[in-house]
Amino acid sequence: MMDLRLFKDFLASLSQVFPVNFDFRDVKGQVLFSGNKKVSLPVSRGLETVGGQVTRKESFQYLRIEDKYDLFGMPILDKGQVVGVLTACDTGFEHDVSGPKIYPAHHMEQLLTHLAGLIEDKLSSLDESEALAEELAQSFEDLNLYARIATQVKTLRFSPAKLDELNKDLLESMRVQMAFAFMPNRSEYNSLITTGEIDAKITESSAFIEALINAIPPDAPALVDNYFIVNNSSQTPGYQKMHREPFRFLGVRIQYGGKFYGWLGMVSFNLKEIFRQGEMHLLISVAQQVALVISNSDLYRDLESFVINVCKSLVYAIEAKDAYTRGHSERVNRCCMLMAEHLDLDAEQQNVLNWASILHDVGKIGTPESILNKPDKLTDAEYEIIKAHPLKGYNILLPLEQLADSLPGILYHHERYDGRGYPQGLQGEEIPLYARIIAVADTFDAISSKRAYRSAKPGKEALNIIKEAAGSQFDPGLVEIFETVFHTSLVEEEQQDNTPTSITLQA
């Protein structure tokens, strides 16, 4: 029973002032509170009888016992149901034997009607407040879900895994048995989360989802607002034969800026609940968010691949100038990435090294072809021009913000561990790690491939030259790692294919 403390006090006071005892019992006859006046056993039994009658007949009852005690009962209704009985009995006799002053029964009926009305009012306002609180609680759930989803999709690179998480959240919060994203042209984003119970009912889930979407009539009015609802499949044309058990289905369009990606939807076999307005609106905004991030993610990817292609073009430009270094950048890149695997570099660091190694010789674009392809020994002046290529490369790439972290690797890839390199003569650990890695890979490839001024040396011989230079030209730790890479990966490739130039750029 709900909170009726106020009435308890009120009825207790009334019982004090008037020669009447009020009490309040539930439909099982249990007295929940009573006006504190002693009543005789017959009276108390009589009240029980009255209570029972009121509950059965659902109306005001009056009973007189022992020819003098007047007993009254009035039902308390809540949503048309008797939830309790307000009873009253005359107590005048207990104190004053001389004269019974009986209230006419209809007066008592009026009084009890008013009291019952007050209690019913209180009950229904409590009900209403509780219903409102529940509704508010549901809005809180929606808000919470929305906040979680907003955090999840607030990422530049949207991934199919994120959609799975999103569907998991939707499944739990909306108490449905199936939540899915269906994008016919972007099937990498297709996602389906179900509860165990539905797996038993639907074996061919993807076919089922496709059927759900295909059955949406193209002229359905709700489609103007980008959604479609089936509250009971057994009563919706096109959906009757999809499953022998009736289900409900809500689908919303994943759409942004006129671009349509697919559908976000949910299915439940629980027909006791329906899709609420709030849920529908929530799902529509979630679908919009999803479309927005997919669209942003696409844009970001386009931009990224544009930068990648620009960089590739730069590499091809140098290689077009210098016939001998064709494939050099790719081989150095490959060797660096193999070394990175042994260096515990994270994905971000690997990405930085990737670009630094591919682009390390971009500065040679500014070196005359006559010098690059010169078969004889270079003059001091020509050598100075060659030595300028790391700085030129650095300057060429400076405007590309995305490559900012890779620039030190390019600028310093001709520094020597003993400090006798160029352009700055950095020493030991002063040289950025990426530059130290590139130095090893770059030199190895230069020795083991054909150059204008000499022929190629076999890999083993090149390795020995590198090992001899550990500590002077190269970081000794990295030389060790290079040796491992050489034995595990490079030597095999050399045996398989004697023309290492055939390795192609992968990115």
Interacting residues toward other proteins by CB under 8 A: 1, 129-130, 132-134, 136-137, 140-141, 143-147, 173
Q: Which residue, 32 or 465, is less far from other proteins as judged by CB?
A: 32
CB of 136 to other proteins, least distance (A): 5
Residue (of 79, 91, 86) closest to 4 by Cα position: 86
CB of 125 to other proteins, least distance (A): 13
Q: Which residue, 209 or 283, is less far from other proteins as judged by CB?
A: 283
What are 248's strand-pairing partners?
Answer: 268
What are the residues whose beta carbons fall under 8 Å from the beta carbon of 252, sequence distance 6 or more?
Answer: 226, 227, 228, 263, 264, 265, 280, 283, 284, 286, 287
DSSP 402: G
Q: Which residue, 130 or 245, is less far from other proteins as judged by CB?
A: 130
Residue (of 453, 441, 436, 440) closest to 500 by Cα position: 441
Residue (of 80, 2, 1, 85) closest to 48 by Cα position: 85
CB of 271 to other proteins, least distance (A): 22
Q: Which residue, 179 or 441, is less far from other proteins as judged by CB?
A: 179
**Residue 214 burial class via C-beta count within 10 angstroms: exposed 0-12, middle 13-18, buried 19 and up:** exposed
Q: Which residue, 151 or 506, is less far from other proteins as judged by CB?
A: 151
Residue (of 330, 331, 336) closest to 349 by Cα position: 336
Q: Which residue, 127 or 210, is less far from other proteins as judged by CB?
A: 127
Amino acid occupying residue 201: K
Q: Which residue, 64 or 276, is less far from other proteins as judged by CB?
A: 276
DSSP 102: P
Q: Count CA atoms closer than 13 A to 251's CA, side-chain side.
A: 22
Q: Which residue, 144 or 472, is less far from other proteins as judged by CB?
A: 144
CB of 127 to other proteins, least distance (A): 11
- C-beta atoms surrounding 142 within 10 Å: 17
Q: Which residue, 129 or 484, is less far from other proteins as judged by CB?
A: 129
- Residue pair 340/197 in contact by the 8 Å Cβ criterion: no
CB of 139 to other proteins, least distance (A): 9
Q: Which residue, 147 or 310, is less far from other proteins as judged by CB?
A: 147
CB of 161 to other proteins, least distance (A): 23
As a whole number of angstroms, the distance between CA 372 and CA 420 comes to 23
**Segments of 207-324 assigned E as strands:** 227-230, 248-256, 259-268
CB of 143 to other proteins, least distance (A): 4
Q: Count CA atoms closer than 13 A to 486's CA, side-chain side.
A: 20
**Residue 137 burial class via C-beta count within 10 angstroms: exposed 0-12, middle 13-18, buried 19 and up:** exposed
Q: Kindly list the strands in the beta sheet with 81-90, ordered across the sheet, starting from the edge strand earlier in the chain.
A: 31-34, 20-26, 81-90, 69-78, 61-65
H/E run at residue 88: strand 81-90
Q: Which residue, 148 or 342, is less far from other proteins as judged by CB?
A: 148
CB of 337 to other proteins, least distance (A): 36
What are 71's strand-pairing partners?
Answer: 63, 89
CB of 80 to other proteins, least distance (A): 22
Q: Which residue, 147 or 398, is less far from other proteins as judged by CB?
A: 147
Tracing tokens 């890999």 back to the chain, one arrives at 459
CB of 463 to other proteins, least distance (A): 50
CB of 64 to other proteins, least distance (A): 33
For residue 401, what are the CA distances in angstroms to 286, 295, 312, 398, 452? 33, 22, 16, 7, 35
CB of 171 to other proteins, least distance (A): 14
Q: Which two tokens stand for residue 272?
A: 């006791």
CB of 145 to other proteins, least distance (A): 8
Q: Which residue, 150 or 303, is less far from other proteins as judged by CB?
A: 150
Q: Which two tokens stand for residue 170?
A: 């939707």
As a whole number of angstroms, the distance between CA 367 and CA 322 comes to 10
Phi/psi for 211 (5° steps) reads -65, -40
